[in-house]
Structure formats: structure tokens, C-alpha cells
Chain A
């Protein structure tokens, strides 16, 4: 049996009450949580909203979320073969699922 990571992901938009969904993704040592989210979108849940650009380099700084209540970059946080709780940043306006409004006000469309 191959190892898996269990991602408990907060989903929903600003307009609804939100819910947790539980998804298993394959686990390989060294992978990032963003690797898991990208796998999930391709194989099961294309509607899952997450914000990222640079995928791996930790250069764009767009993929900030909370894992088990701690604020991290999904691209550098390691995937682990256990249940991990993924939630959007609590102190930013929720847009959808794991995506929040993180741009400085002067750089937002308005």
C-alpha cells in the first residue's frame, strides 16, 4: 500500500458558511503541501481554489495559508503522511476556499 496524506480542507466562499472536505493524496517524502493541492486539482477536485504562481521557488509569496493553525507557505511546508488541516488565512478577507485577499490595497483592482 502506498502512503497517503489526508488533507482536511476548508472550502467555501465569503457568502456561505463553509465546510471541511477530506481528501487523500499520494505521499512521497520531500513533497510540499502545494504539490498535494496541485495533485488534488488535477485528479479529483479541479474547482479547489488556491492561490500560487511560482509553484516551487518561494519567490511569489502568494501561497500563504494556515496548516494546523499555523501560517505557512504551501510551497515550502512539507506534506506529511497524516491528517493535515488546511484553512485560509484568518486575518484576511476570504475570497474562496484557501484564497484570501492578500494584495496591498493600492495594488487591488477597485
Chain B
């Protein structure tokens, strides 16, 4: 039986309900638009925001004098010459306003002596990172935006709504086609403007610090709609992700706030400090940038000096129980429930996929190359160049979300007639979304996702070579060949095999985009480290762009001649 789609009409469709999507929805509604906020998971619960236990970079200057231009200088320096200056500027300039608006909405930034307090984080020239105690920044941001939306009658919220593709008519975005996961019903959404706020791609990797719905679907949706991706080779690995002993109920990136407050010592398997071997000395303070720390931990393990599970030790044994309790309160009890007493033992940490610098190309209004399609948050490419500064992720979610919501609403209020979603433009995606093939799955799609994560972790990880990247592209092609053309199953409720199939379709495209861009960039810069091209080269201070040409990914923007590797 072919299910008839549920048809929805809205001014603005926002896809993804992390901080970027929620702020975009709020701003679009504030500008007078009718909004549909769709999330493939529950509203405000999936995605990266709710997991962000860390800090938010903003030049508030309440404690230490500061200015957004100082924040911008640090952002550009961290980006290793590759930040899109207009996006980086927007991020830093609008941040204080957004952070204060969040405060007015009740987020509860940590305070000291009557003002919002800020902590020092690596790469910043002064304390600039605000947070919510105890390690509660992301959940507080998420809850604040969710609560603020609850009273807003202009925002219709739709959880468990998975978008399969955007709809494009004569080159303009006119909405999307998806299906309701918990009933299986296909859905068409006609929208005058669409905001993609789907987050990053960390689910492509075996060990990652984000939720299971961060499989890069927004990049694939944008590509198939005709948008351009940039900087796809730059995947940020968070150097000190928790590795051992097994720890449940905590985000694996939780050690960063510990280091902000207490320093901590990074040690190799012989309990020696080692980062100075790789050109960075910590002097007991936490200043090591993410790309350098990732490199040092992997190289130390390769040299046979790693900790037992292949990472490095992180020790707070020099801190007193009272100091730990004072800094982290109830978190100390959660650690104890996992058998971890920081005064008596180190933990083991290792790099973990954390954030994607690359993404959809956009201008300072968050408009993409496709009229009617806007982007917000991590799915945007370019603002953070080759390496993101600590604390800029939630900042960009808020700033870009607000700007995208405003731009999308402005489009809907234009007097000129906008194209409406036409059935013929939606038909092909509807065939996928309505899930009427009835076919039994040819393969275990959950296992195929695990296989893709292994390929990416082993061969497209932080330290790359041409040989590994070629092997990865071959392995991805072999995996893709086993996927077939149509999702298995029919339109049953909560069919995870169907969802896995649709996810794999996106993940394979995005994995190829990362590997191809990485293979083509014959240098090392920021988060992209090529062991066969170890130097950063001036002629590579360029963005690589990717577009979809038929079934192939086309790469643009590389320098005419790549230099041979150093002998």
C-alpha cells in the first residue's frame, strides 16, 4: 500500500533542534514568520548542544577588559590562515549580544562578584569563556531555548521527523520531504525558506563525542540540493576524550573543564610529561591547542610510550579532595560511582572525533548558493578555518542561528512571489521517504555503519597519508556498492533498518567528501595532518570546495601545482 504523504505548509522550515536550530526558529518567529521546527530525534535533546559540557567563548569584558576584535584575532590565529573572515567576524561581533539575550532568558551563566565570570581556555589571550556550573553549559543552553520556544505560538515543533531530502524547484529551495519516524508516515513540507541546522559529522568515526544523529546528513542534503561544501578535510579531534576506565553517564569530553579549573598533568605510559617533545611546553597551565595535543598523544603512543589502552594519562593526583569537590561538586560523586577517585589514580585519555570545521558555504547572512536555503551552527563551513578555537561552537550555534532565522524570515516577507513546492520536484524523494519497497534488507545496515566508522577512524583520522586515504576511498566504494538503491522495509513505525539505510546514504557521501578533500590537500594545516606532507605550505592557504556533479563529487579550489613532499 502506498501511503499518501502528510502535507504541511510553512513560512520557514528549520531542520535540527540544537541551539542553532532553536535560536533560528525563535528569531524567525520574532520577525513575524510561521515556523516549523523539525528534528529527527526529540526536540532539543539530540545533537551536540545538549552534550556540550564545556564553555562558550564571548568577549563580554565583564571581569577582564575585552573586545570582540581580540576574540576575532584569536579565532583567526587558531584557524591557521583559513578562516572565512566575514563569518569569523560575525561570530565574534554578535556573540556578546546573544550571550546576554540567553542570560535574559534565564540560562544562568556562572557568576562571581556580581558579574558573569569567564575562564581561560587554550588559544585565547585572556579569560573569555563563560559556562554554567557544574559542567552543565549545554543542557542549560538547550533547556533555556526549549523553554523560551514553549510559549511561542508561531513555532510548530515536530520531533521524530526525519528529513530525507530538500526539495528544489528551478534552482530554489521550496521545502523538504521526510517521514515521521514513529508512525512511518511520509511528509512533504512546503517552505518559503529552509534553515539547515543539522550539526556536524562526528558519527562518521568510531570514537566520537557527539550524539548518534550527527552523521553529517545536513552536508548531504545541501550537496544534493545544489549547495557547495568547503573545507571538508578539517575534522577536529578533541585530544583528551575519555578512554578508560569505562565511564557511564558522562560526556567523554568532560576532562576539558577539569583542565580549565585545575590544570592537570598529561603523562605518557611511563608517567612522564611528554608534550615538550612535540614543541609545546605546558608549564603546569593548560595552554596546549587541540591539534598539537592530538598529534603529541598519537605520536607518543606510536613510539611505544602510550598508556595501556593506547592513549595518555591525565592526572589530577596533585589536587586535594577538597579542591576537586569545590570545583566540580556532584560530578565527583558521579566519578566515584564509576570507581574513579582522582586523588588516587589517573584516567586514560585519547583523541576523539569532536567537531567539523568544514561545511556548507554561506555568506554573512547565512545564505547558501541555493536561494531559499540557509544554514546555522556546525553545519556551516569556514568560520573556524583549519582548527576551531575552544569555546566557539556554542557561540556560532547561537550567533549563526539568530542570523539565519532573521534572513529566512526576511525572505518570506518579500513582496515578489516565491516558488511553491511542486509535486514533480518532490516525487523522487517521496519514493524513498514513503518506504514502500517492502524489500527485506540485503545487509545488516547497523553493521555497515560500524564498518564505515572503522574505515574513517583508521584511515581518515587525525594523522593521514595518501596511501591510507586511497585505501579509505576504496573501502567506502565497496561499502557503497552493497547499499543498493532503495531503503528496505515498508512504512512501519520506528524502523531503524530503514533509518540506518537513509543515514548510510548520507554518511557515505559525506565520508567521501572528507577523504577526497584530505587526499587532495598535500600539506599539513591545523586539524588536517598529512604525515607524507608534514609542512604547512603558503600556496595551500585556499579553501577547497565540493559540489555534486551527477553521482560524483567535484573538488574545486586547489592550487594549480602541489609541491612535492620534503625529502
On A, residues with C-beta under 8 Å from B are 13-14, 28-32, 41-43, 46-62, 73, 75-76, 78, 95-97, 99, 101-103, 106-110
Contact = CB atoms under 8 A, between A and B. Distances in A.
Interface in B164-219: 180, 182, 187, 211-213
24 contacts: A30-B246, A30-B247, A30-B339, A32-B248, A46-B441, A51-B494, A52-B212, A53-B213, A54-B211, A57-B53, A57-B252, A58-B250, A59-B53, A60-B42, A60-B46, A61-B45, A95-B182, A103-B43, A107-B44, A107-B157, A108-B158, A108-B159, A108-B160, A109-B187
A83 B252 CA distance: 29
Contacts of A108: 157-160
B182 A101 contact: yes
Contacts of A14: 493
Interface in B228-252: 245-252
B159 A42 contact: no
Nearest to A75: B248
Contacts of A107: 42-44, 157-159
Q: Which of B44, B161, B182, B449 has the most CB of A within 10 A?
A: B182
B46 A30 contact: no
A62 B496 CA distance: 15
B159 to A, nearest CB: 5
Contact of A99 (B211, B250, B494): B494
The 3 A-B residue pairs whose C-beta atoms are closest, nearest first, are A30-B246, A53-B46, A109-B158
Interface of B is mostly: loop
A101 B181 CA distance: 11
Interface of A is mostly: loop
Contacts of A43: 447
A62 B249 contact: no
B159 A109 contact: yes
A42 B446 contact: yes
Contact of B446 (A41, A53, A106): A41
B458 interface: no
A4 to B, nearest CB: 17
Contacts of B50: 54, 59-60
A30 B244 CA distance: 10
B5 interface: no
B494 A109 contact: no
A47 B490 CA distance: 13
Contacts of A54: 46, 50-51, 211-212, 251
Given A103-B43, A107-B42, A107-B159, A46 B444 contact: yes
Given A42-B446, A43-B447, A108-B158, A53 B211 contact: yes
Contacts of B339: 30
B249 A57 contact: yes
A102 B42 contact: yes
Given A28-B246, A50-B496, A54-B251, 16 more contacts: A41-B496, A42-B449, A46-B441, A56-B249, A57-B249, A59-B53, A75-B249, A95-B493, A96-B492, A96-B493, A103-B160, A107-B159, A109-B38, A109-B158, A109-B160, A109-B161
Given A47-B495, A54-B211, A107-B42, A31 B159 contact: no
A58 B497 CA distance: 24
A96 B494 contact: yes
B503 interface: no
Contacts of B150: 106
Contacts of A55: 211-212
A47 B443 CA distance: 11
Q: Which of A48, A60, A109 has the most CB of B within 10 A?
A: A109
Contacts of A75: 248-249
A77 to B, nearest CB: 9
A50 B47 CA distance: 17
B139 interface: yes
